[in-house]
Structure 1
């Protein structure tokens, strides 16, 4: 006698429902809840911080609210990393296209990620260039743009970005390089810190080489444009 196929459906339905629930909890609801919590709670140690600590590079990080960080550093970082930070919604597609075109004809890799994308990667993910990680980065970028806003994104970025071996955040970087708090950074010091962001394990802000000096000079001029044209108003306005 043939087996009634309807007897198997309840089991498959239960498995299917379980998979849907797990996806919603861990794939959608969980990340949203964590992102919402980080809107008011300083994000704890990140994957990169753990990785660097295992490598023996130490750990220095002191959280400071955005209003206790020099505006000069905010303008310098925007000038160096993401001039359209206040006008885009997480992604600068023109910058991505330029980076791709540059990387096709040059051995020196140039990134096209915005500050929002960098923050999403730094806080929630691991350093990698895989498509999976890039996809997750895009997802978390959308979340923080929607749930945090520009000021919070900048605050978290400035308190979490790597600024040297075992040095994370503006306060630790300012103290390590110049012996002052992040609130007392001058325009020149801010430009130097912004200049080393692409390669913080290689370049130094306190004793910069010729390339970092030239780069910080360009960043300083660009930061002046950022200030005059109000291009940091979403953070400093």
Structure 2
């Protein structure tokens, strides 16, 4: 019985080491511009033979206003932190300890590593793995490359991955031609892409989009890291 337990423990240790090694090895590879990473959700869709719509697009061919909208909506300190916004994270922890309802504290980098290497849930285990991965990812990759990967692996509708596919899907145009209003609408659909439709926005979506549009218009230094080539 003891031998069986030892074997199981050894196999578990091997699996954990492999899971840790995968992002450590792949991250430097993903720094290469010609490499087009895929998310775990995309892999699952491929394995289960679900329809997938995706067309990788270089960040140079994405309307800058879309990038600005995402930063100002999802992670205003993206250009200033190193993968984790500790101030925002600690604020959320304080709210949780006080028994209050918490908001998300995931940065764009954290969302990117989650999509690339982890799974979708709100467990503390996933978050504990996500934090060091985000710090490592930010250390290895420049901000502009992180953003390029993020907009190309995010799911904007069921089976619709990446901003180029989403732009064509919702507005019938390439991502390079998105207007400020379209960029804002497609951005506010990100938290709930299965129920929010940028092409037929609800009153709530339109209100959120107006706010994002205003923030993007005066984003200035907050978005400098994705504007610098």
Shorter-chain TM-score: which interval?
Answer: 0.7 to 0.9
How far 1:116 moved relative to its partner? 0.5
Which stretch shifts more, 34-43 or 115-124?
34-43
Change (3 A) 1:24 1:149: farther
Query: Which deviations, in whole Å up to 9, do the C-alpha atoms of 1:158-212 show, x marking residues without a partner?
Result: 0001111111110001001100001111111100011111111111101100110
How far 1:49 moved relative to its partner? 2.5
- Mark the runs of 5 or more structure 2 residues left unpaired by the alignment: 1-6
SS in 2 for 1:231: helix
1:112 and 2:105 are equivalent in the alignment: yes
- Report matched runs for 1:121-136 at 5 Å: 121-136=114-129
How far 1:139 moved relative to its partner? 2.3
Question: d(CA) in 1 for partners of 2:107 and 2:61?
Answer: 23
In the alignment of these two chains, the number of paired residues is 215
Assess if the C-alpha contact under 8 Å between 1:70 and 1:182 holds in 2: yes
Question: d(CA) in 2 for partners of 1:236 and 1:104?
Answer: 40
Query: Which deviations, in whole Å up to 9, do the C-alpha atoms of 1:27-71 show, x marking residues without a partner?
Result: 655432211111111113x22224456788631111011111110
1:4 is matched with none
Change (3 A) 1:24 1:110: closer
Assess if the C-alpha contact under 8 Å between 1:191 and 1:220 holds in 2: yes
1:95 and 2:88 are equivalent in the alignment: yes
Equivalent residue for 2:29, pick from 31, 37, 47: 37
Greater radius of gyration (CA)? 1
- Report matched runs for 1:17-36 at 5 Å: 26=18, 29-36=21-28
Change (3 A) 1:54 1:30: closer
Change (3 A) 1:97 1:64: same
2:4 is matched with none
Assess if the C-alpha contact under 8 Å between 2:23 and 2:117 holds in 1: no
SS in 2 for 1:232: helix
Change (3 A) 1:56 1:207: farther
Equivalent residue for 2:216, pick from 207, 211, 223: 223
TM-score by length of 2: 0.84
Change (3 A) 1:125 1:25: closer
Question: d(CA) in 1 for partners of 2:145 and 2:85?
Answer: 19
What is the CA RMSD across the aligned residues, in angstroms? 2.7
1:196 is matched with 189
